[in-house]
Structure 1
């Protein structure tokens, strides 16, 4: 195993040790044991910049299921490295923040950090895997670990609800993506992402292309909270603030963005991909920003803001994919959209991560996140106020912060979409810049709401649970670092251009590289009096007007029908699904074994009979069958008479005796066929079974045969005869279609030679089928322990009842 594999798996390995460290070092906050790992991993991944910035990649493989083309292959290229740095860098800052945010006396820190490490390792596996099956494995692990993190405060009903919703929606998308992966394998014959990209032309021209594309996008859209799957993200805010800062701003929700970016070289040659990704992205952008304005909880504002920003990045990836469709750079018209997507991916992680931490500080120091109760905190929390100004102004796209630069490039990308002519939709393309501009107005509006309704205005101490004061220095370090990056990347944006942005773009658009090393990316603040600049001025001016006169128009939100909300559809859908499944279950779970056997044997008959008919599998060849002897005929008649008589027996005891007669007759068959071991086993089992049946059934009431309706007997007779006929036909067909010699010859030749035993049956059970026998014995042992436990429990309860009397 390489050092790269160890780096990816190290969070999962450390998760095993966390409970022991928490137990034996109770005086030390568990987070301190965790903090060095993401910091070391961040430093480790930094060394790959020199390779990826020159167009190189690093690939390491460990064999897993090679026969199926599934290997644990890790690949570090520009795109994977960008996400790995975000996961480890933001992860280190979140762990540091959580040390001061979470109270070790009130929280179960061992479980929290185990869940966090599971998530960190899963995300690294997703972004660095070059094998689609391995990627899917880590993908589902992110859903599982995020479910645990969102429901960390499991004593809260809303936390459990949010965790369940995120799990159901993201796992649905994950299973859809798995279907897409299998279809892609049918098309290409490989699970390797690198090889699949090389075969993109075959993928596009295959009949399964559209279905595969949609299934992959379902996985990406659900994970990245795209419309209409966005409803899980606001409810996920019930998680602790460090979780929100990590999962829902920088990492988990970016997994869908990563998947779209990674698969763009495969699918983007089709206009379907361009319009779906760009269209869903811009719709999500608008709906998220529009919904954020009506929120009163700071975390809820940031939740819908995250939905909006993810839509913005998604729309940029869709617009940038047009470059692959046209097959030319076209003066950078479409390349700029991919540049903006990668740049805003970084920017969003910095300003949104700091804002989530600021929200946690406000909640921690005042006891509330409700903006209706907050106000005037600027004088009490000046550092936090400064951090909020930097984060919100960047989110609103105000210079000189980094969000302004990526928003200008976003406007450029949307203007380019208006010029596309895919599917004769050139006239509809103008909607993209219009919707983008409108969404940006609402983005500006909720950004101003966040900072000014919280830190300015009237101070309301009577509505606060605590007297506000500045957070401790330890809680401020992480948001200060992120806010500093907001400023640095805003003033010196090209510090990322060559080393980070260009290599990532090369992974997204590999066929359009200008040279062997990457794209020539240059980001600047001033481009003259362009349309983008006037759009930004319009956003600020109109946004200020909406903010000033908000009480006069905010009533439109109350006009929206609450019954038509997506959350209501989700809740009603779950209720309907539960009710339907309950009714279906009641229809066949009658409590009668006879009913269950009817279902089982009916399916048995249907499946096997249809196979015999459609495959023309029934054959009859009795040329090598041994002659039937007189004694065998007698035994068959005894068995038949005993079995038929059971049907007419009026006593359970009589039925048990007749059933035993059938079993003992089978034992006689084994004697005739010279199989004494089997005969002895059959005799022992029949004796024990009959004795136990007699003991149990003696205490049951008499059978009332005359109360049974004849139609049940007719159904049972028909099914019984059909099962017997099907099994007989299969046995005869199997005997008549022998394509190779019996395995018995192998045992005859090798029983003594390889196992050193003369009793063939014993050798088969102990040596050739040793594991099978061992597990059968284990099952019997477990059953014996269970019986012993139940008997002991019954005796204990009996003694307790006697003592109470």
Structure 2
């Protein structure tokens, strides 16, 4: 495992430690415990700058090699740039949030857990080379951002904004996943580096354009490009540190990163050029125009962010023209990419500062409405200075970094007038015009944000608080970002050679001539160039529009009030909900019989039709062994037991007949010499009887009502159909196999590769360990679902008819009845003296046998699963003999926590293989000379089996105790 892998994992480890550390140090703000994490990561990535200039770093960790999915990371100029933004601004945001969030009023530990999850996910996105791993981190950013936006979940608008952001970005993420799969089909690899290396040969592939469109859909939704931008303004309901981090420096730039990362592969296509630059310019002009109409500071910054993201996107699109040019012309078009990279840094600096300034104003005055603000300059001079740095950089005024990147942007759009690729001359005149007008709007809303807030008359009667300067802790982070906006302007070449050049090398296709060296030099003055005159025009026109803004309605009010993208989103969501409700109401009748009928009919149709069309109904019974007398008797008893269940007149008899059928299956396993399966089946049947009895306790007495012939006929046909299909599948699979059995492989490799002679257990914990891990995870989720379902009760004191979760334990020997406690109603416990006496000895015998099965399972019949079931049966016997209250006193174990501990042990065992550069859940074994025991085999699979054991015991007892305690 390389340090790059560790850098991604560190935020997740810190997130898991925050709740524990916060409880240990209650007097310390959790932010102080979190701050060293991103700060150390920032220092680490700074130290990698020289290595990136020499070619970068690459490391791979095997994960699922058979599927081509490995945890592969790369650190080149592009990923380093974003990693520095994520960790550097993350450090400042954490520092700011320490003074922003009151640890006595806010759930600060929860906030930092969400923030660290997001930080780790973003690092995973920008450092991953494998597309499937990138997608996993991509969706994790959507989930963690949903949690951050909805942090104040008691606010309806916070929940609305979080849901909108997640729906739109996850929709785009799924489209991106489809695009990644198409790229894999085209190239045969999930490696981004491998795909880019095949760019020249795959451009003519029929899936090239569909893959491009799907990936761009993911990028556009994430980076809030028009018309998918509607989630970003509503996301401003999040706490300001979230807005400063997610919506200025990280999450919204993930789409820009995706476009830049895949630019070397798609840049040679005209569709890529027009889509990326076209949507970028459209977003640029639309966002800047909408920002003029906002009266809330954060809303204005939200639309300005949309506009700035469109600017960067358009530059990436314009820079892709370098792939279709040559020589000096190719170098000319790389200027657009240079501007894009430089503006990514500038935008992160000035927009992060402005978001924090907006919150400082809100924090000190009680409002963000510019109609109520004004005259704050004498009272908040430091905040005003930071705001001036940020707004002037955003407006593109000297001597700030935003001025330089804006000049480079204007230069890039003017270069399109001379573009001789893809017939761009037809529309190229519109590109500078749109860019110029959007820059004018940007100048206007920047001036509104600054001067309407800090100059003019003070309106104390409209403010909720008496304004004063913010505390030092809230001023330091935005002041650092504001100063960076100035430093990047005064000394731009601090970044040119260290960050910008390596980033451009990763974005621009390698089509530059061999004798041309890509050197970036940024300077304030290049003479009286056309972009200088464009800037003068922007300032002049911007001043005029700023003066007219108060009086000219089209600049202040929406042009369309009844038609908007937000209305379309709300309408589509409500329509989908109503349609889903009608559709669900049509088949969700509340009848379990109906639901089973749907499942079984689909089962019969799907498998039956598939077998018929595929010709799999060939049955060859010539190879079957003759039927012995014992087998015939067991089959007869099994058929009689199963057939008797529907005719049982009481539930107890139905349980007995069902158990009889199960024990007959156990006898079959014994006859066929499958002791593991026989033990498992026998114990499952024993525990199931107890579970059935506990469940049926809640049901009314069974009544056999006379049903209509149609009702019985439907049941008979469905049951017969399921039985026939399953029988035909079994006979077809065993009678006419199309390929050799895999059993020979397991028999040969069980001891050689996994060190175990019990093939069944070796398959469970080694060869198919991933399946077992998922199965116990599903069991754990199911047990928690049963616990929540039973403990969820209607609160009689809730006037709204809501519900609540009963988590507290009841008093001993008491149950709830009609909202009251009845101390005279006792939980069931056996009064059988013989049962109690015998069980005292039998329980220890069962537990000893379970312990033996656990440790012998690697070579003999047994294993963690069987041992867990046997342990559970012993605990059930103890509960039946002495009562559940006695059981809890003798064994005070929280079985839900036991399930979690088992899952954690199993998961950590699988992760431990990473330390040895082995795939997930790889096991090792060896022979060692131990005191007293002699030469003994030790296998890591036993640790995984221990996790299975604890999980199954926890799941089984959680279900039984939950149902039993509710009696």
TM-score normalized with structure 1 length: 0.88
Deviation sequence 1:734-753 (CA, Å, 0-9, x none): 232245579599989999x9
Deviations 1:469-504 (A, max 9, x none): 222333222222222222222122222222211111
From the superposition, tell whether residues 628 and 204 of structure 1 become closer, same or farther in structure 2 (CA, over 3 Å): same
Partner-residue secondary structure (3-state), 2:562: helix
Residues 676/269 of structure 1: CA separation in 2 closer, same or farther (3 Å cut):
closer
Per mean C-alpha deviation after superposition, the further-off stretch among 380-389 and 620-629 is 620-629
Determine the structure 1 residue equivalent to 2:360.
Answer: 361
Residues 1:133 and 1:687: Cα distance change in structure 2 (over 3 Å): closer
| Contact 2:62/2:71 (8 A) holds in 1 | yes
Distance 1:76 1:529, change over 3 A: same
User: 2: distance between equivalents of 1:259 and 1:551?
Assistant: 40
Distance 1:653 1:5, change over 3 A: closer
Matched, 1:32 2:32: yes
Corresponding residue for residue 289 of structure 1: 288
Task: Identify the range of structure 1 (5-14 vs 381-390) with the bigger mean alpha-carbon deviation.
Answer: 5-14
Q: Give 1:177's aligned residue.
A: 176
- Greater shift in the superposed pair: 15-24 or 395-404: 15-24
Aligned to 1:387: 386
Q: 1:611 to 1:152 in 2, by over 3 A?
A: same
Please give the alpha-carbon distance, in whole angstroms, between the structure 1 residues aligned to 2:606 and 2:618.
18
The answer to whether the 8 A contact 2:659-2:685 is kept is no
Report the CA distance shift for 1:538/1:790 in structure 2 as closer, same or farther (over 3 A). Answer: same
Q: Distance in 2 between matches of 1:470 and 1:693?
A: 66
**Cα distance, 1:562 vs. partner?**
2.9
Contact 2:287/2:304 (<8 A) preserved: yes
Q: Against the structure 1 CA distance between its residues 197 and 469, is the aligned structure 2 distance closer, same or farther, given a 3 Å change threshold?
A: same
> Equivalent residue of 1:564, what SS?
coil
Distance of 2:698 and 2:248 partners within structure 1: 65
CA distance 1:769–1:282, shift in 2 (3 Å) = farther
Q: Residue 398 of structure 2: SS of its match in structure 1?
A: coil
Q: Distance in 1 between matches of 2:655 and 2:9?
A: 62
Deviation at 1:91, TM superposition (A): 1.9
Distance 1:674 1:172, change over 3 A: closer
CA change 1:632–1:204 in 2 (3 A) is same
SS where residue 617 of structure 2 aligns? coil
3-state SS of the aligned residue for 2:534? Answer: helix
1:180 aligned counterpart, secondary structure:
helix
1:652-674 deviation digits (Å, cap 9, x = unpaired): 68995996799499679959978
CA shift in 2, pair 1:472/1:68, >3 Å:
same
Change (3 A) 1:234 1:693: closer
Structure 1 residues 675 and 297, CA gap change in structure 2 (3 angstroms): same
For the pair 1:69 / 2:68, whether they are aligned, the reply is yes
Instruction: Establish whether residue 770 from structure 1 lines up as the match of residue 863 from structure 2.
Output: yes
Whole-angstrom CA distance in 1 between matches of 2:191 and 2:410: 35
CA distance in structure 2 between the aligned counterparts of 1:242 and 1:665, rounded to whole angstroms: 62
Q: Measure the CA separation in 2 of the matches of 1:588 and 1:633.
A: 43
Are 2:178 and 1:5 equivalent residues in the alignment?
Answer: no
- Mapped to 2, the partners of 1:782 and 1:524 lie a distance apart of 67
**Residue range with higher mean Cα deviation, 416-425 or 74-83:** 416-425
Q: Counterpart of 1:732? A: 731
- The alpha-carbon deviation at position 51 of structure 1 amounts to 2.9
Whole-Å Cα distance in 2 between the matches of residues 129 and 382 of structure 1?
44
Counting only pairs closer than 5 Å after superposition, residues 23-102 of structure 1 correspond to structure 2 as 23-53=23-53, 55-102=54-101
After alignment, is 288-297 or 564-573 more displaced?
564-573
How far did residue 714 of structure 1 move? Answer: 3.9
- Tell me if structure 2 keeps the 8 A contact 1:271–1:325: no
Any residues of structure 2 matched to 1:129-168 within 5 Å, and which? 129-168=128-167
The equivalent of 1:15 in structure 2 is: 15
User: Which residue matches 1:107?
Assistant: 106
Please say if residues 100 and 475 of structure 1, whose CA atoms lie closer than 8 Å, have aligned partners that are also in contact: yes
Instruction: Tell me which residue corresponds to 2:315.
Output: 316
Q: Displacement, 1:22?
A: 2.4
- Deviations 1:22-74, CA, capped at 9 Å, x for gaps: 22333333322333333332222222222333x52122233322333322222
C-alpha deviation, 1:769, in angstroms: 6.5
SS at the partner of 1:73?
A: strand
User: Comparing 558-567 with 205-214, which one deviates more in the overlay?
Assistant: 558-567
Partner of 1:275: 274
1:386-425 matches, cutoff 5 A: 386-420=385-419, 424=423
Distance 2:378 2:748 in 1: 93
2:965 to 779, 792, 799: 792
1:581 Cα deviation (Å)?
1.9
The 3-state SS of whatever aligns with 1:391 is: helix
2:467 is paired with a residue whose SS is coil
The change in CA–CA distance for 1:533 and 1:703 in structure 2 (over 3 A counts) is same
Q: What residue is the counterpart of 1:802 in the other structure?
A: none
Root mean square deviation of aligned Cα? 3.8
Is the contact between residue 660 and residue 686 of structure 1 (CA under 8 Å) also seen in structure 2?
no
- Give the secondary structure class of the aligned counterpart of 2:105: coil
Corresponding position: 1:427 with 2:426:
yes
Per-residue deviation, 1:628: 6.2
Q: Which whole-Å CA distance do the structure 1 matches of 2:581 and 2:575 have between them?
A: 10
- In structure 2, distance between residues paired with 1:230 and 1:257: 14
Matched, 1:351 2:350: yes
CA distance in 2, matches of 1:418, 1:239: 42
Asked if 2 retains the 8 angstrom alpha-carbon contact of 1:401 and 1:486, the reply is yes
> What is the TM-score normalised by the length of structure 2?
0.74
Could you report, residue by residue, the CA deviation over 1:119-169 in whole angstroms, capped at 9, with x for unpaired residues? 222222221222222222222222222222222222222222222222222
Unaligned ranges ≥5, structure 2 = 761-852, 871-950
3-state secondary structure, aligned to 1:62 = strand
The 5-angstrom pairing of residues 572-721 of structure 1 reads 572-626=571-625, 656=654, 663=661, 700=701, 702-705=703-706, 708=708, 710-721=709-720
Do 1:289 and 1:304's aligned partners in 2 also have CA atoms closer than 8 Å? Answer: yes
Larger displacement relative to structure 2 (665-674 or 281-290)? 665-674
In 1, Cα distance between the equivalents of 2:695 and 2:511? 82
Helix, strand or coil at the partner of 1:253: helix
- The alignment partner of 2:729 has SS state of helix
Distance (whole Å) between structure 2 residues aligned to residue 745 and residue 79 of structure 1 = 46
Name the CA distance, whole Å, in 2 between partners of 1:176 and 1:68. Answer: 21
Which residue number in structure 2 is paired with residue 552 of structure 1? 551
Give the Å deviation of 1:543: 1.6
Change (3 A) 1:605 1:367: same
Structure 1: tracts of 5 or more residues without a match: 795-805
- 1:468 CA drift (Å): 1.3
Whole-Å Cα distance in 2 between the matches of residues 749 and 301 of structure 1?
Answer: 65
Number of residue-to-residue matches in the alignment:
786
Q: Is the 8 A contact 1:316 1:410 kept in 2?
A: yes
Q: Deviations over 1:692-745 (max 9, x none)?
A: 69987995464332x52x444443343333323322322222232245579599
C-alpha distance in structure 2 between counterparts of 1:524 and 1:474, whole Å:
35
Residue 390 (structure 1) shift:
1.7
Deviation at 1:768, TM superposition (A): 5.6
SS of the residue 1:729 aligns to = helix
Aligned to 1:122: 121
- Deviation larger for 281-290 or 38-47: 38-47
Q: Are residues 313 and 727 of structure 1, via their aligned partners in 2, closer, same or farther at CA, if it must alter by over 3 Å?
A: same
1:632 Cα offset (Å): 8.2
Secondary structure of the equivalent of 1:563?
Answer: coil
Displacement of 1:682 after TM fit?
8.0
- 1:257 is displaced (CA, Å) by 0.8
Who is 1:529 aligned against?
528
CA contact (8 A) 2:31 2:95 kept: yes
Contact preservation (8 Å) 2:757, 2:859: no
Deviation string, structure 1 residues 212-258 (Cα, Å, up to 9, x no partner)? 11221122111111111111111111122222111111111111111
* CA distance in 2 between partners of 1:355 and 1:176 (Å): 33
Call closer, same or farther: CA 1:674–1:610 in 2, change over 3 Å. closer
Aligned to 1:797: none
The question of whether the paired residues in 2 share the 8 Å contact of 1:147 and 1:163 is answered with: yes
- C-alpha distance in structure 2 between counterparts of 1:291 and 1:381, whole Å: 28
Question: CA contact under 8 A between 1:652 and 1:697: conserved in structure 2?
Answer: no
CA offset digits 1:572-622 (Å, max 9, x no partner): 222222222222222222122321222111111122122212322221223
